[in-house]
Structure 1
Amino acid sequence: MSRKEAHGKPCPYCQRQMDLRSFHLEPTRDHVIPQSKGGRKTIICCRLCNSIKADMLPSQWEAYMAANPGWWLLTRAERRARARAPREAVREAKYGPRKPQRQGSPPAKPVVVPPELIWVWVPGKTPARVRINTPAEPEPQPSRSDEACPP
């Protein structure tokens, strides 16, 4: 059967009428057993069923439809999450539960710069050391013994 012949006929999966004018109900060719698993037999079903079924085997697809009656009324995110559930169960049985994913990196610690490392540079002048939030200390005076020494 061609896609044009399928127009107006019910989808074999969800039983809604396929329609060439509707994106989700447009007839598409679906591999009953996915090509990735060696399937060759195809049928015509609506685009929504075909995209949700993805690479599920017929037994997995039947279980999905039985567990989610009226699934075509769900939002896109809900449909994807529910379609992933059988595959996740198989993966968990093989490899164990997934590790929880980190939700972003931890907040960065603030950078603390010691006051003795802060310098102010003004073009044309010698760089000057600046004290921040510290009491002003008198500049050390050169001792008189340093001045009295001959070169």
Structure 2
Amino acid sequence: MNSEVEIKKLLVPPSIELLFNNEQLELIKTLCLLYAFYLKSNRKFNKISDIVFYYSLINFNLIKVFESNSKVAEINLEKNLPFRFQTKINKILLELTNFNYVEIKGELSHKINDISVKLTPEGINFINEIDMSFIAELIENYNIAISNIKNTSENKKIILGG
């Protein structure tokens, strides 16, 4: 009898799997967000809850909820999209730490609100060396979101589909 994993592999073409489960892309997107925080914020460390919030706004296209002419009721939000990223953030941060691209303040076993992250000089250099329009555009989108939308409990509730 085929295992559930084997069945999923048969049903999902590799190109689609790569598109939706690309760990390297998630690492780069997270680094770009940390770089945007580095450019915009006076804080050295940023809370993981901020990382999850702004990552979700941009990468799950939840920012459309906050556009001036949008109404939440008119937008069909898939509930709990930020939780998908939140379940991966510890692994992403661990990998970025292994590359010496980020520094973590706190323990990954602690509650999310007790952990903060900052980009290291190596992480900054890595992002600066990438010359791709995708990266520049992503950082700009993060900057716009950070400047215009605050990470409040009300806004979190909105993007969680509540």
Higher RCO (C-alpha under 8 Å, 6+ residues apart): 2
Greater share of helix: 2
TM-score, reference length from structure 1: 0.22
Q: Which has the larger radius of gyration?
A: 1
TM-score, reference length from structure 2: 0.21
